[in-house]
Structure 1
Amino acid sequence: MEPEPSRWEFPSPETADELGLVAVGADLAPGTLLAAYRAGLFPMPLGRTDKLGWWSPDPRGVIPLEDLRVSRSLRRSLRRYRITTDVAFGDVVDACRTIARPHGWISPAIRDAYVRLHRLGWAHSVEAWSEDGELVGGLYGVSIGGLFAGESMFHVDRDASKVALVSLVGRLASGGVPRLLDVQWATDHLRTLGAVEVPRSEYLGRLRQVVSLPAPPWPGDGWLRSGRPTGPPDHPG
């Protein structure tokens, strides 16, 4: 569902400062969020203040779908977890929010904004469940056409978030449609999975090519293992 258009107009990402900050202010309405992602921006508060920053880093972190790195140990972990999509979006965001990390940014306002976006069909989660039905890992992000903009991931069991990412890549790679997996910054952790840095100009060019393409199917298509549907959806707990 397309929300009401944003009442804000964002500057060009090319005007970003050396840290990638493009603008400060605006709001977290669904239309504003979608306009930002379509323009190559994403929101994140400025430090520990209530001020909302809009970012477009240069270089930009992406994971080429064909270059995802799956180690031998991760392949073994793929058999340990059950994977779903959009079964527990709010729980995934809450877990990402509460996990200890030095630069946590998921405020209550941001949490509520992405839950609203999820209810409109634009934000999605991939969940990893233990055999006894506990949520032990996952990720969430925004899907617009051929773009999936990853926002955050978490795990409480070994490799659980990585397994969720493998399943996400399998989903994005299906259907023969060019897609772009944006991870914002290529951290050391994401580099082990194949993340690379590309210049902002290259990212924006690829974004323009994919953002109007068909989005991958999301809810209601069953359990996933390594991105493949394996049966009817069934909440594990």
Structure 2
Amino acid sequence: MNESQPPAAEPDAAVLSRLRVVLVGAQHPGNIGAAARAMKVMGLSDLALVAPERYPDPEATARASGADDVLTAACVHDTLDAALADCVLSIGTSARTRRTQWPLIDARQAAERAVAAAAGGPVALVFGRERSGLDNAELDRCQLHLQVPTNPEYSSLNLAAAVQVVAYELRMASGHCIAADDAHRPVPAADMEGLFQHWHDVLVAAGFLDPAEPRILMRRLRRLFNRAAPDRIETNILRGALRALDPRRLPNRRPAKPRVTRSDDTDD
């Protein structure tokens, strides 16, 4: 390996495997199962439960909806310290304002910090009880505090829903973005110039554009298509339509006499 080359990026799956969801004192087994489902959907697998009130429980399995493997592999701990013992970073969720103010970050910022830290070891995202969340002593065990910005008039967020929001941001931060189909990527500048020239030639042939006094018609068409950012398929459709409508291709059709387009616009 050439020492001058940067190390290869770590596979996304390896990063996700070191992101741990910790549920402290979960009171409803259904929320444990729903959280496991939320995790599996986003590629997370490391679930830790701290002193759950009811677990294992059939309702947890039912709500997991196929994420049984996440539940089966979940570690149950008596204390939060035990769940965080090997973590290089712990991020606690806090929905309430505290008398002692801690710096708060949102889910997206937390995910970015978590993914970056995961290169050095496990990272914990810690969620509290359904009714009261994490207490101050539990938040003291976390280096960062996360808050999901919700509607202040109705800020209640279900435990599993909160896990889903954070799990989604973790997946995005790890690089699992939706890849665009090659056919639907914006076309290169040279191809766009070909489209603009095609428009120009057909509009001149149709008599809609007077090349001696074009004003800024073509500039406005450029702005229109640049805003639309047509992809390869859409560009081909436009070019095909222009070829079909080109009066020079129609039999027994005399070239149109150019006329000045009506516009008050002038060049900048």
The TM-score, its normalising length taken from structure 1, stands at 0.25
Q: State the TM-score, normalized to the length of structure 2.
A: 0.23
Q: Name the structure, 1 or 2, with higher relative contact order (CA <8 Å, separation 6+).
A: 1
**Greater helix content:** 2
Larger Rg, first or second structure (1 or 2): 2
